[in-house]
């Protein structure tokens, strides 16, 4: 056997929990190997030092009460708040970027759309009638598909708003109740 095999047995040899055939082999190896003999001596010294240690002191009788009183005196941690304005602004920017990308893919340049919209708005006379005619003038033959896309985007917004409201009213309280015991453990 190699030294590494004997070194794995030295701890049990020092404790006296090694079986008889192995005890004889380890004893013979320790007599001939200075490294293993030094390690065995070190293990015996550590075991001796551990035996001289006294039991750890008992905590004060009111230790738990004092710790809990200290915890209660601290302010409750506030949950992280989501900056809704930044989230909404990012969502609106992403929506308009999608509209611009879609218009570009549909062959409507943003510059020509702006010129058409300005011309359409400047010639408007009645509020609602001119709005529909100016949008027709701005988008040309693409007006129905633009209207469909904007309608779908608004429906997506409505769905997201309903989803956030449902999450806030139903899922969030249930999730908080499930996670509350986990927070107490920490």
Considering the domain architecture, whether residues 101 and 159 belong to the same structural domain is answered as: yes
Tokens 């970027």 locate to 97
Per residue in 129-153, pLDDT (tens digit) is 545 555 555 666 766 777 777 788 8
Within a domain: 111: yes
Tally the domains of the chain.
2
Distance in angstroms (rounded) separating the CA atoms of residues 79 and 76: 9
Query: Within this chain, do residues 143 and 91 fall inside the same structural domain, yes or no?
Result: yes
Among residues 157, 145, 7, 179, the alpha carbon closest in space to that of 88 is found at 157
Determine, yes or no, domain membership for 57. no
pTM above 0.85, yes or no: no
Asked if residue 90 and residue 24 are part of one domain, the reply reads no
- 11: tokens are 């701890």
Residue 72 lies in a domain: no
Q: Are 158 and 152 in contact (CB under 8 A)?
A: no
Q: What is residue 1's predicted lDDT score, i.e. its pLDDT?
A: 62
* Domain extent for 158: 84-185
Instruction: Please write the tens of the pLDDT for every residue from 74-119.
Output: 888 877 777 777 777 788 788 778 877 877 777 766 666 666 666 6
Q: What angle do CA 81, 87, 91 make, to 5 degrees?
A: 165
Is 13 part of a structural domain of the chain?
Answer: yes
Long-range contacts of 86-90 (CB under 8 A, 24+ apart): none
Q: What is the pLDDT of residues 17-39, one digit of tens each?
A: 888 888 888 888 889 989 888 98
180 shares its domain with 121 = yes
Which two structure tokens, joined as six digits, stand for 157? 């917004």
> Is 30 in contact with 3 (CB distance < 8 Å)?
no
Give me the pLDDT at residue 69, please.
92
Residue 74 belongs to some domain of the structure: no
Does some domain include residue 64? no
Mind giving me the DSSP string for the chain? --HHHHHHHHHHHHHT-S-HHHHHHHHHHHHH-HHHHHHHHHHHHHHHHHHHPPPPPPPPTTHHHHHHHHHHHSPPPPPPPP-HHHHHHHHHHHHHHHHHHHHHHTT--HHHHHHHHHHHHHT--SHHHHHHHHHHHHHGGGHHHHHHHHHHHHHHHHHHHHHHHHIIIIIHHHHHHHHHHHHHH-
């Amino acid at each position: 056997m190699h030294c590494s095999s004997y070194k794995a047995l030295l701890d049990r040899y020092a404790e006296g929990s090694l079986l008889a055939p192995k005890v004889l082999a380890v004893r013979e190896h320790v007599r001939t190997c200075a490294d293993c003999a030094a390690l065995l001596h070190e293990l015996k010294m550590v075991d001796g030092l551990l035996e001289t240690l006294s039991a750890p002191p008992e905590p004060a009788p009111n230790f738990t009460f004092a710790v809990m009183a200290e915890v209660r005196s601290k302010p409750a941690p506030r949950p992280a708040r989501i900056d809704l304005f930044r989230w909404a602004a990012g969502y609106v920017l992403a929506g308009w970027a999608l509209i611009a990308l879609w218009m570009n893919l549909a062959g409507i340049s943003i510059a020509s759309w702006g010129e058409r919209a300005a011309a359409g708005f400047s010639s408007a006379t009645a509020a609602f009638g001119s709005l529909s005619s100016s949008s027709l003038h701005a988008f040309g033959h693409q007006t129905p598909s633009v209207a469909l896309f904007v309608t779908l985007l608004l429906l997506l917004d409505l769905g997201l708003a309903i989803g956030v409201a449902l999450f806030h009213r139903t899922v969030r309280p249930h999730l908080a109740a499930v996670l509350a015991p986990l927070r107490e453990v920490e």
